[in-house]
A = this chain, B = another copy of it.
Amino acid sequence: MGDVVRSEESGDRSSPRTGPVLADLDEDELLDRILPLFPPAPGVLVPAGDDTALLAAGDAVLATTDTMVRGRDWLDGWSSAEDVGAKVVAQNVADIAAMGGVPTGLLVTLVADVRTPVAWVEDFSRGLAEAAADARVPVVGGDLSSAPSGTLVVSVTALGDLEGRAPVLRSGARPGDVVAVCGTLGRSAAGLLLLQEGTPSLAPDLVAAHRRPRPAYDQGPQAALAGATAMLDLSDGLVRDGRRIARASGVQLALSGEALAADVAALAPAVGTTRARECVLTGGEEHSLLACFPAGRELPTGWRALGEVRDGEGLTLDGQSLHGGGWDHFAGADRG
């Protein structure tokens, strides 16, 4: 892990290094500072503070978890504590949305070097609380752990409810379905490229998309109501995630280059056409929803067709098979 370049040009987002660190507070004192950010909410029958939380549920509960590690998922120079808090919420709630569900509660784990500034933890909690409020989901519990020098890990578990709908799995795509996306493609990856090159000012909107993805969570339930046969959120790139639907469903996703042309064109001024194309196809952390819908139906508002489902396997672009690409959590571990 290289040192982070700290300058205005690099868009330094570090929290100030002055003030108390975690070792200066005991656990209760830290909780006293954070817990007021997470008020009681309807549906939370027992909030954080007992052995467990107790949440109202339907006859089934969605559950998912996603983690961010400093040095791997973010660098302090590129992402503020608020950004990290907001992003870890978005990643998890997008997974709930991708099943067609609405989030009902979050559990938050912080594993931190005791020399971490208390201000970082407060800022992280504030970003997390704001993103949770945006997604209309309460924080209901969590865990604090100290860790060896340098470690900073944040982890969220999201619970959700289908409100009586069937879950939309990855395995339901059928030949003839339309492949569609709701939201942008490649913007987060393009923003990361600019940060890596120290030129975030070329396109601050792309950098913002990398720091704080804002998936259209409501579109998950909307897609379910519109009859989506398969769905996921784009965590690891269009090719890699599209191939997951293909594999789970036993079909081929055949995408059209023309349908992606506007996405590529939107990124090209900032990162060039070749890299724009790569961002659109393989850029991770976008968290837009990718779904398949039965042919002949109107797509829900906000969705656009990218291609169609065919007999076969894998993912093609204008008939050309695309392999690999996208983010692998271990093989890509040195990405920074």
Interface residues in chain A, defined as those with a beta carbon under 8 Å from any beta carbon in chain B: 1, 22-23, 25-27, 30, 45-46, 49-73, 95-96, 98-99, 101, 105, 107, 109, 111, 114, 140-148, 150-151, 153, 155, 157-160, 162, 167, 169-171, 231-233, 248, 328-331, 333
Copies of this chain, complex-wide, total 2
Residues of chain B lying within 8 A (CB to CB) of residue A148: 1, 69-72, 150-151
The answer on a CB contact under 8 Å between B52 and A62 is: yes
The answer on a CB contact under 8 Å between A65 and B109 is: yes
Residues of chain B lying within 8 A (CB to CB) of residue A145: 67-69, 72-73, 153, 329
The answer on a CB contact under 8 Å between B333 and A146 is: yes
The answer on a CB contact under 8 Å between A159 and B61 is: yes
The answer on a CB contact under 8 Å between B52 and A101 is: yes
How far, in angstroms, from A199 to B26 measured CA to CA in the complex?
Answer: 31
Residues of chain B lying within 8 A (CB to CB) of residue A30: 330
How far, in angstroms, from A171 to B60 measured CA to CA in the complex?
Answer: 28
How far, in angstroms, from A30 to B333 measured CA to CA in the complex?
Answer: 14
Closest residue on chain B to residue A104 by CB atoms: B61
Closest residue on chain B to residue A112 by CB atoms: B330
The answer on a CB contact under 8 Å between B146 and A63 is: no
The answer on a CB contact under 8 Å between A61 and B61 is: yes
Residues of chain B lying within 8 A (CB to CB) of residue A140: 63
- Given contact pairs A27-B328, A50-B99, A68-B145, a sample of 11 additional A-B residue pairs in the complex whose CB atoms are under 8 Å apart: A46-B99, A50-B170, A56-B59, A64-B141, A69-B145, A69-B151, A72-B148, A109-B109, A143-B155, A145-B329, A148-B151
The answer on a CB contact under 8 Å between A52 and B160 is: yes
The answer on a CB contact under 8 Å between A55 and B61 is: yes
How far, in angstroms, from A278 to B67 measured CA to CA in the complex?
Answer: 37
User: Given A67-B111, A111-B153, A145-B69, does the pair A46, B329 have CB atoms closer than 8 Å?
Assistant: no
CB distance from A218 to the nearest CB of B (A): 16
Residues of chain B lying within 8 A (CB to CB) of residue A141: 63-65
Of listed A22, A63, A148, residue having the most chain B CB within 10 A: A63
User: Given A26-B331, A148-B69, does the pair A96, B63 have CB atoms closer than 8 Å?
Assistant: no
Closest residue on chain B to residue A147 by CB atoms: B69
CB distance from A95 to the nearest CB of B (A): 4
Out of B23, B52, B96, B157, which one reaches A99, CB within 8 Å? Answer: B52
Residues of chain B lying within 8 A (CB to CB) of residue A55: 60-61, 63
User: Given A50-B170, A52-B160, A95-B52, does the pair A146, B67 have CB atoms closer than 8 Å?
Assistant: no
